[in-house]
Amino acid sequence: MNLKIKHLEFFLEELNIIRKKYEELDLQKEQFNVFTILRDESDEVKLHSRFISSLLSFQKKTQYLDTFLKEIDSQFEYGNNTLEIYPSYYYKNEYKDIDILLIDRLTQHAIIIENKIYARDSNHEDEGQLEKYYRIIVDEEKINEKNVEIYYMTLDGHDPSEQSIFTSKKYPQLKEKVCCISYSNEIKNWLTICAKEAYNEPFQRETILQYLKLIKTMTNDVDIEERIEIKRLIGESQNNLKSAKLLIDNLKHLHWHTISDFWDNLADSLKAKGFEILSQPQAEDFDTIVHGGERKRKQVGLHIDFKTNLTFNAHIEENYYDQLGYGVNFAKQIPKKTTKVFSELCEKFEKYSSDDKWAIVVYPLSEQEEILNSWEIENDATFQMINPEFQHQTINKIVRGIEQFLIDYESINNR
């Protein structure tokens, strides 16, 4: 066996001991968290947006709002009796799909907050997501552009997609107006201050602290001791240093082979079920995703087109902005009878939906631990694809879902 690989095996064994140690320590910690009990931790709308906006709109603690505005360096001006916050205790739902909106029509100020945990931007062919929200506030609500602030809130503070702010090109100034804020920085800092401000309100304070704990877990801001021990392990010998560097140096190659294997094996599984593959991702697609510049990476889509035994071809696609889905897109004209069946399927089954791109679509990897992002090897599901068993289970789930889709279609079409 290659000596480098042998050293790497020893290194991974020692690393595994550290991992197990901290997993056991985690089991001994307080596990109760009301937020994860009631909601999925990645629920942007019903958990994160609503909890954050409820703090912002809490009448007895306007310092929560003022502290937040200070933390994000906002120039927002409001009156206590004229400010409206959506969603809030009084306004339960989002305002025209905007995740969080602060608006004062008297002072002519507004703040738009787009909240992204794991989802990608919901852009349309003729208008980006942030363009849409900006249009609603500027053109429909008639708020002066200079008083409209727009924030893109993510776990790590990354930028929105170019399509989100520049599809219609109607607002060239929008790119400069969008401010990126993160759960790992601004939100964590704000919650820490809020918890201190609630020192004499034990129920409020505990609720804020529980939410803060959830944020720290999601942003990987926990287990500092574990990181220190890993650093110690890497630095304790030249062999460990070389092994760690070997992993880092080969991460891109691991990424390439992982997504290539997944998509190739998915196509092979469809062939084994009797489907004729019309197109599938090629080596140059994986090259661009792994080694290309940011702009080119975002332009590449991974897709498989295949014939079914029915009157339409089916399509599987994942791109930078949307998770993996399968169904029938509008690439070719679809007979009215077929679209009618698709509509009935969408009405009958919650798993089926449609939009501007898809006549019918299913997003099969709905569980958080399954949601693949082929563009990021650090994504848990993508990294897990290195494991043949996990990859096999994921592919089986997709293929079984496609077979069920065709059965569901025929059951309605043959009535």
pLDDT of amino acid 45: 53
Q: What is the enclosing helix (H) or strand (E) of 303?
A: strand 301-307
pLDDT digits (tens, 9 = 90+) for 308-323: 999 899 999 999 888 9
C-beta pairs of 289-294 under 8 Å, 24+ apart in sequence: 289/259, 289/374, 289/375, 290/252, 290/255, 290/256, 290/259, 291/252, 291/256
pLDDT digits (tens, 9 = 90+) for 133-163: 999 999 999 999 999 999 999 888 888 888 8
**Tokens 């090629």, residue located:** 282
The model carries a pTM of 0.61
pLDDT of amino acid 34: 45
pLDDT of amino acid 339: 92
Going by their DSSP bridges, the two strands 313-319 and 325-329 should be labelled as antiparallel
Task: Please give the single-letter amino acid code of residue 218.
Answer: M
pLDDT of amino acid 22: 56
DSSP β-bridge partners for residue 148:
110
Number of Cβ within a 10 Å radius of residue 10? 13
The upper half-sphere exposure of residue 11, i.e. CA atoms within 13 Å in the direction of its Cβ, equals: 24
pLDDT digits (tens, 9 = 90+) for 241-262: 888 788 888 889 999 999 999 9
pLDDT of amino acid 102: 95
Ranges of residues in the chain with a pLDDT under 70 are 1, 8, 11, 15, 18-19, 21-47, 59-62, 221-224, 226, 368
pLDDT of amino acid 38: 46
Q: Tokens in use for 281?
A: 């991702």
**Which distant-in-sequence residues (6+ apart) come within 8 Å of 100 by Cβ?**
49, 52, 53, 56, 85, 86, 87, 94, 111, 112, 113, 115
